[in-house]
């Protein structure tokens, strides 16, 4: 059983696009329903949960019946504007079934760089949480300037975790955890259960390969987690593949890869 450095009270959960859609046209309603039900159960047990959710562009593709993701940035932004509404309506419907309300927060890079705007974000989140409303955060993709984007919601989830100084970050993705070898190259690999410290060897393991493409998008996750663990916030990377996953994680079961806090 895993032991956390402090009692778990406040948790950030990052939801990947792959957990919500196939990235083209299909929305995984069953997964979303299960996830919302599990989050709702945690909240009713007294935990504070903040969600950072990707999926706007994928939901936009599904809503418009498009089979191919465009490469043009302007078209992606337009898809995000359509998909964000659809994504939030799905969350709202499912959380309402569980007796909870949600609040949407769309952030741009300036919102966390400027101290006044950062304080406003924190204040908004704290008021939502005090009122029992589930915050669902995403990057404001429809208006974000390409050169100034967060780049991915892994980084954004880390910034939110620091902003609220939470007790744990959980990153839900399409892989079971951090592998000891690149699974796209090696047929035999194993999931690392625990990472005591993110060192140079581990960073080399997840270095960009083939022109900047990472396996499983793992590099951005590791860089985010390194910053968190260095200030005392542990993290877990795992796939969402179990009806009782979140409760099992909170209870200390060894699912995914656990990154130990360094303080």
Which of 16-25, 50-59, 70-79, 144-153 is predicted least confidently? 144-153
Strand order in the sheet with 102-107: 102-107, 134-139, 48-53, 10-15, 168-173, 235-239, 257-259, 194-195
Mean per-residue pLDDT over the chain, rounded: 89
Encode 107-116: b = buried (16+ Cβ within 10 Å), e = exposed.
bbbebbeeee
What pLDDT is stored for residue 179 in this prediction?
87
Which of 37-51, 137-151, 152-166, 168-182 is predicted least confidently? 137-151
Residue 190: burial class (beta carbons within 10 Å; 0-12, 13-18, 19+): exposed
Q: Which helix (H) or strand (E) holds 56?
A: helix 56-64
Adjacent-strand bridge partners of 137: 52, 105
At residue 178 the predicted structure's pLDDT band, cuts being 50, 70 and 90, is: very high
C-alpha to C-alpha distance for 35 and 39, rounded to whole angstroms = 6
Domains of the chain: 10-259 (3.40.1160.10)
* CA 150, chain centre distance (Å): 13
Place of tokens 């960073």: 203
Greater model confidence, 71 or 44: 44
| pLDDT, tens digit, 9 for 90 and up, residues 214-243 | 444 888 899 999 999 999 999 999 999 878
C-alpha to C-alpha distance for 199 and 195, rounded to whole angstroms = 10
What pLDDT is stored for residue 218 in this prediction?
85
Q: Which helix (H) or strand (E) holds 53?
A: strand 48-53
């Amino acid at each position: 059983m895993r032991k956390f450095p402090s009692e778990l009270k406040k948790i950030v959960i990052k939801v990947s696009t792959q957990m919500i859609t196939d990235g083209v046209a299909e929305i995984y309603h069953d997964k979303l329903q299960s996830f919302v039900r599990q989050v709702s159960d945690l909240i009713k047990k007294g935990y504070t949960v903040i969600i950072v959710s990707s999926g706007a562009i994928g939901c936009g593709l599904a809503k418009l019946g498009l089979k191919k993701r465009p490469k043009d940035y302007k078209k992606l932004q337009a898809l995000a504007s359509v998909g964000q509404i659809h994504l939030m309506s799905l969350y709202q419907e499912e959380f309402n079934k569980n007796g909870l309300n949600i609040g949407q927060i769309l952030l741009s890079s300036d919102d966390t760089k400027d101290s006044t705007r950062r304080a406003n974000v924190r204040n908004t989140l704290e008021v939502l949480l005090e009122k029992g409303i589930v915050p669902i955060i995403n990057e404001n993709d429809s208006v974000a300037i390409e050169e100034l984007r967060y780049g991915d919601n892994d980084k954004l989830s880390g910034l939110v975790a620091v902003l609220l100084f939470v007790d744990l970050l959980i990153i839900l993705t399409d892989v079971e955890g951090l592998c000891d070898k690149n699974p796209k190259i090696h047929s035999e690999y194993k999931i690392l259960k625990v990472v005591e410290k993110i060192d140079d060897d581990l960073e080399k393991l997840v270095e960009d390969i083939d022109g900047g493409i990472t396996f499983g998008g793992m590099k951005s996750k590791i860089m985010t987690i390194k910053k968190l663990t260095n200030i005392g916030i542990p993290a877990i990377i795992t796939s969402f593949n179990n009806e009782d996953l979140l409760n099992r994680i909170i209870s200390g079961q060894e699912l995914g890869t656990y990154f130990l806090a360094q303080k």
